[in-house]
Amino acid sequence: MIVRGYGSAWACLALGVVCSAQARAQNVGESLVAPDLPLQYDRGRNESVLDRPRPEYEALGLRLGSFTLFPRLDSEVGFSDNVYAVKSPRTSDGYVAFAPRATLSNNDIRYSLDVSAGYAGRRYFSESQRDENTWFAGANGRFDANSSLSLSARLRASRAVEPRTSAAVPLTASEPVQYRQNEAGATINFTGGKTRGQLTFDYNGFTFASVRTFAGTVLDQSSRNRDVYRGGGRGEISISADTSVFVQLGYEKSDYRTPLALGVPNRTSEQLRALVGASFDVTSLIRGALSAGYVRRSYNAAIYPDISGWAAEGRIQYFVSPLTTVTLNLRRTVEDASFQDTSGFFATSANLRADHELLRNLLLYAQAGYEIDTYQGRGATVPDVKVWRLGAGARYFMNRTIGIGVSYAHDSRTSNAVANAYTENRGLISLILQR
């Protein structure tokens, strides 16, 4: 979806962090590849705290003929009591971050085009090997052929950092795990009477950089480089004014470019997923979508056992009052492992978040998330990993140009293996300047 006017500064602050230019902020339950068909449930009735427009605080941009330029600078000062995310020894440090970005949007009604680019840098006061340099550049377009048919496409190139809580991050890495990602995709949306549908196709290519270990050696991560091809479709039919049911099918092929090690094949695989669900927007209290089904990932190499089981995806919003929204996100999906003796794992997660509008330009939030990564196949020696995340913060916009945010977050990762466990507390103050 293409967001206009860059009132999206609210959505960025809603994540409790500066809207960094390098990549999407990741919460519990998110993976490197975004869902190919995000759940749809908005029927134009209920409106969450974060969805509510606040035109008096939205950036106006700079008119350039038939386009509008939205420049923006995000900056933050933060602190972590465990910058290396390890059990021990714990190292505390502060940092500064800055993320300039710009988006150029057209002003046409029938079609839309957004071109954006940005950079994000993070500099630690003492632990300079944790410094980050990331960037992105991309374009999104949409064309409405008629009232029933629309086409959209996207292109994006980026350099991003993998979250330390990810089960795929090497435990011995002392530096941030940085990777290049190239994305391309297209989606067709169509409606007719009580039915609507979507078809989508996309490509994601990943190239991981080598990282330095705590021992001072260099860890080659080229065995994680891969190309992911996906295709999917969803068909939906309304059974009442506020409820519809849908069927969703998806195919994914992960093609690794190099062997895992000398004489050891990599985890090239194919995946099929089928979901059945319902979307609803009932009364003035609740809206959302829930789906459940089956997923199977088959690996080309016989040394990796196939993975199959139930899959799920859901999002429910409860409107406690016009000023308070509670959102629950659920997900169960398959991810590839980074250990030689296992094929992959099921990542099952839930994230609960409450947003409250104390003032029209002052939003408060609190959230809690939990994820358990359950390894499959022969990797009996690989322990399950459990991740807890807690957070709270506030966002305040002084006017169209200046916004301020404060947040606190706590991460806890537990495992049967002591080396996999750690806790981290983070705090930050952020400043947004936009035009």
Name the region of 358 (left: φ>0; alpha: ψ -120 to 50; beta: rest).
Answer: alpha
Q: So what's the pLDDT on residue 208? A: 95
Tokens of 119: 């950079």
Confidence class for position 344, pLDDT limits 50, 70, 90? confident
DSSP symbol at 215 = T
Q: CATH number of the domain that 353 lies in?
A: 2.40.160
- pLDDT of res. 340: 62
Q: Which of 122, 118, 144, 145 is nearest to 132 (CA)?
A: 122
Residue 221 domain flag:
yes
Q: How far is CA 241 from CA 43, 205, 237, 290, 363, in A?
A: 9, 41, 11, 17, 32
Q: Is the pLDDT confidence value at 429 over 90?
A: yes
Residue 91 lies in a domain: yes
Segment 296-312 shows an average pLDDT of 93
Q: Is the pLDDT of residue 162 over 50?
A: yes
Q: Which residues span the domain enclosing 23?
A: 9-434
What does the block give as tokens for 397? Answer: 């916009």
The per-residue pLDDT for range 305-338, each reduced to its tens digit, is 899 999 999 999 999 999 999 999 999 999 887 7
How confident is the model at residue 2, as a pLDDT? 36
In a domain, 1, yes or no: no
- How many CB atoms sit inside 10 A of residue 229's CB? 15
> What is the predicted pLDDT for the residue at 32?
75
Give how many domains the chain has, as a whole number: 1
Residues 225, 206: Cα–Cα separation, whole Å: 5
Judge contact between 133 and 124, C-beta under 8 A.
Answer: no
Q: Is pTM, for the whole model, over 0.85? A: yes
Q: Give me the pLDDT at residue 28, please.
A: 62
pLDDT category at 381 given cuts 50, 70, 90 is low
Residue 3 lies in a domain: no
At 113, is the pLDDT very low, low, confident or very high (cuts 50, 70, 90)?
very high
pLDDT at 15 > cutoff 60: no
Instruction: Pick the range with the lowest mean pLDDT from 35-49, 274-288, 361-375.
Output: 35-49
CB 312 within 8 A of CB 29: no
Please state, in angstroms and rounded to a whole number, the distance separating the CA atoms of residues 220 and 85.
Answer: 20
Q: Which of 226-235, 269-278, 332-341 has the lowest mean pLDDT?
A: 332-341
Amino acid 164: pLDDT:
80
Quote the percentage of the chain above a pLDDT of 70: 90
Residue 56, class by beta-carbon neighbours within 10 Å (0-12 exposed, 13-18 middle, 19+ buried)?
Answer: exposed
Q: What is the DSSP letter of 131?
A: -
Position 26 scores a pLDDT of: 47
> What pLDDT score does 109 carry?
75
Query: Which DSSP string do the residues of 269-303 spell out, in sequence order?
Result: EEEEEEEEEEEEEETTTEEEEEEEEEEEEEESSTT
In a domain, 49, yes or no: yes
Here the tokens at position 294 are 């089956």
Instruction: Give the whole-angstrom CA distance, residue 85 versus residue 81.
Output: 9
Burial class (CB in 10 A: 0-12, 13-18, 19+), 105: buried
Asked if 253 and 243 count as a contact pair (C-beta separation under 8 A), the reply is no
Helix, strand, coil percentages, rounded to 5, for the chain: 5, 60, 35
More confident residue, 6 or 140: 140
What is the predicted pLDDT for the residue at 30?
A: 63
Across 153-161, average pLDDT: 96
Domain contains 240:
yes
Q: Which of 101, 99, 105, 107 is nearest to 139 (CA)?
A: 105
Q: Cα(239)–Cα(233) distance, rounded to whole angstroms?
A: 20
Q: What is the pLDDT of residue 358?
A: 97
- Model confidence at 241: pLDDT above 80: yes
For residue 41, name the pLDDT band (cuts at 50, 70, 90): confident
Q: Tell me the pLDDT of the chain averaged across its residues.
A: 88
Confidence class for position 417, pLDDT limits 50, 70, 90? low
Q: What's the confidence (pLDDT) of residue 341?
A: 65
Q: Which residue has the higher pLDDT, 35 or 79?
A: 79
Maximum alpha-carbon separation in the chain: 63
pLDDT grade for 342, boundaries at 50, 70 and 90: confident
Q: Is residue 337 one of the residues assigned to a domain?
A: yes
pLDDT, position 177: 93
Q: Name the most confidently modeled range: 107-111, 339-343, 345-349.
A: 345-349
Question: Is residue 394 included in any domain, yes or no?
Answer: yes
13 pLDDT more than 50: no
Residue 362 pLDDT:
97
What percent of the chain stands above pLDDT 90?
69
Grouping H, G, I as helix, E, B as strand and the rest as coil, residue 248 is strand
